[in-house]
Structure 1
Amino acid sequence: MIIYGIPTCDTCRKARKALAGHDPQWRDIRALPLSKDEVTEIVAAFGDRAVNRSSTTWRGLGDDERALSPRDLILKHPTIMKRPVIRSDSGLHLGWGNDVQAALLP
């Protein structure tokens, strides 16, 4: 299991704490940015939902950048990705909502 996120994200911290018993690998997307292939896979799985439009990063963008595709936005501004993205044996999961918790926690 891999959790993709940033250490200052409260939701990422909650997910990491809850999943600690599963010994997940942590991937700080600022320190080790996602590859083009990884971003393409995430956007293919979640589409526009992969972009966090309520984030500080989104609010700071101009209209030209907001018009970019989700893939290009995440490649240019990794912290605009909705977090966490969790890769497990069952596939990719976005966020830490009840549906993701039910899928990943016993």
Structure 2
Amino acid sequence: MLKRASAGLQRVHERTWAQQLLQEMKTLFLNTEYLMPFLLNQCGSLLYYLTLASTDLTLAVPICNSLAIVFTLIVGKLLGEEIGGKRAVAGMVLTVTGIALCITSSVSKT
């Protein structure tokens, strides 16, 4: 979503690198198509760090990283992107199975 919304950024041309940077930032942050997915992304990052701070790292890190891949593939499919067919679905199933095994292992230890 961020990639699609930032497509017009290549049309911004300024004389100096500082003016270029400021104009690009202005272009992006005044574009609501870019700003909404960006803020959603930042909320996800905040949730990730809060989760890491409050849970067991041996469980939280693999789960968060694996679920990031799964959610990326799901959202990509919803947006009409090609996700890789049966191999991607098989990878998601294996990822979710691995997450379930991690959770089961963690629960059985406590």
Larger relative CO (CA 8 A, sep 6+): 1 or 2?
1
Q: Which has the larger radius of gyration?
A: 2
Instruction: Give the TM-score taking structure 1 as reference length.
Output: 0.24
Structure whose residues are more often strand by fraction? 1
Structure whose residues are more often helix by fraction? 2
Instruction: Give the TM-score taking structure 2 as reference length.
Output: 0.24
